[in-house]
Amino acid sequence: MPYSKQTLQGSRIAYLDVLKRLKERVLSTESYGYEEVHGVLRLHLNECLYSPPQHVLEAVSRAIAEANLYPSLDMFNRFRELLAKYSGVDINMVYPFPGADGALKTLFYTFVNPGDVVLTLRPTFSMVEIYSNFFGLKKIYVELVDGGDSWLADFNKLSEASKRADLVIIVDPNNPTGNTVFSGRKELLELIALSTKGFVVVDETYYEFSGYTIAKYVNDFPNVVVVRSLSKAFCLAGFRLGYVIAHPEVLKNIIKTSTPFDIPTPSLAAGIAALENLNYHMKIINKVRQLREELYTALKSMGFRVYKSYANFLLVKDHRPLDEYLLSRGIAIKRVGEDLYRISVGCEDAVKKLLQALGELV
Ligand SMILES: Cc1ncc(COP(=O)(O)O)c(C=O)c1O
């Protein structure tokens, strides 16, 4: 019997009455809309199209035999230790989360109360808006400016608006525009970190494709927290691995609702194996960066309006329905605005297939 029928017949409280008990901020939040696409080239989610390396797969298959037990604290600590080494910070400054997304959610729990003010650049990663709505925050935006070749953040406006914000969220490199915001520059971070009365979260999910980071400044500005991911550069999106880098005393508070069991054993095994042998990942990162530049140049020479990107995707501005056209050619991309399309770089074959399909359009 379908679940809804069971509750309707068996329940002594009408679910519509129960819904009224939910907070307005929860009821009015739109959830993340996603429909699966099948049998097509996936260039719509900024995924890594290279499979994880053999040593990661082997480590995972060894780990699943222990899945009857809670994840081991030794593995958790080893993963944390490797993350610290990789990030060039002390172990007490880094903590794993289930994806960058899991980290972001926890930072909202930690830093804001309903009615607080959140500031972001716009457009940016869709989950920022969703969490802001869910937590009942007042949203203020600084619009990124279309500078022709790249999207620009107005730091005067940003630092002015930061004064009113309890939480500033900067995605750097930004999704979907691909621009870098701080370019790793301490003085730009300082402008925001010292202006705001609250916290600054810098989402560096695409860090490896830009090479820029402000993680080394979190001790200078303890109100700055960095979020990172192993989904993109490490080709481990299915394992849901992310982490936070923060001042040790701030981090102690961020992790108050976390347990060492939040990351599944196979994911810990994957993360450890990946970080113990970085060679494969460094090659992938270099390859994606090279393909991104090649794709950018090729699209430009075909007459497309494409923006410089520091991530693993490119943003294209076009008045034609590029998403529909490419889907009909077996390629999924993401429409992110009226005439804006975000396209993952993918791998060599993906770039070839994409350029061929777009070549037939122009
Ligand atoms: C800016 C940004 N932050 C966070 C995430 C989520 O990453 P994860 O897969 O680590 O949860 C994404 C995913 O696309 C993203 O673009």
Q: What is the pLDDT along the chain (362 residues), one digit of tens a residue?
A: 444 545 556 678 888 999 999 999 999 999 998 889 999 999 999 999 999 999 999 999 999 999 999 999 999 999 999 999 999 999 999 999 999 999 999 999 999 999 999 999 999 999 999 999 999 999 999 999 999 999 999 999 999 999 999 999 999 999 999 999 999 999 999 999 999 999 999 999 999 999 999 999 999 999 999 999 999 999 999 999 999 999 999 999 999 999 999 999 999 999 999 999 999 999 999 999 999 999 999 999 999 999 999 999 999 999 999 999 999 999 999 999 999 999 999 999 999 999 999 999 99
Cis peptide before 173 (omega within 30 of 0): yes
CATH number of 54-276: 3.40.640.10
- Are 41-50+280-361 and 54-276 equal in CATH topology? no
Cis peptide before 176 (omega within 30 of 0): yes
Distances (CA, A) of 357 to 198, 250, 330: 47, 49, 9
C-beta separation of 326 from 337 below 8 A? no
- Residues whose CB is less than 8 angstroms from the CB of residue 45 and which lie 6 or more positions away in sequence, other chains included: 237, 334, 344
Q: What's the CA-to-centroid distance between 216 and ligand 1, angstroms?
A: 21
Pairing of strands 242-245, 94-97: antiparallel
C-beta separation of 334 from 325 below 8 A? no
- Which residue ranges make up each domain of the chain? 41-50+280-361, 54-276
C-alpha span between 95 and 260 (Å, rounded) = 10
C-alpha span between 343 and 351 (Å, rounded) = 10
As for ligand 1, residues whose beta carbon falls within 6 Å of it are 46, 99-101, 125, 171, 175, 203, 205, 229, 231, 237, 242
Report the run of H or E that residue 112 belongs to, with start and end. Answer: none
C-alpha span between 133 and 67 (Å, rounded) = 36
Q: What's the CA-to-centroid distance between 150 and ligand 1, angstroms?
A: 21
- Ligand 1 binding pocket mutation candidate from 43, 175, 262, 267 (most atoms within 8 A of CB): 175
Q: What's the CA-to-centroid distance between 119 and ligand 1, angstroms?
A: 18
DSSP of 3-57: HHHHHHHH-SS-HHHHHHHS-HHHHTPPPPP-----SSEE-SS----SPPPHHHH
Nearest to 82 by CA among 227, 210, 230, 201: 230
pTM: 0.96
104 CA closest ligand 1 atom index:
4
Q: What's the CA-to-centroid distance between 113 and ligand 1, angstroms?
A: 23
Give the domain 41-50+280-361 fold.
Aspartate Aminotransferase, domain 1 (3.90.1150)
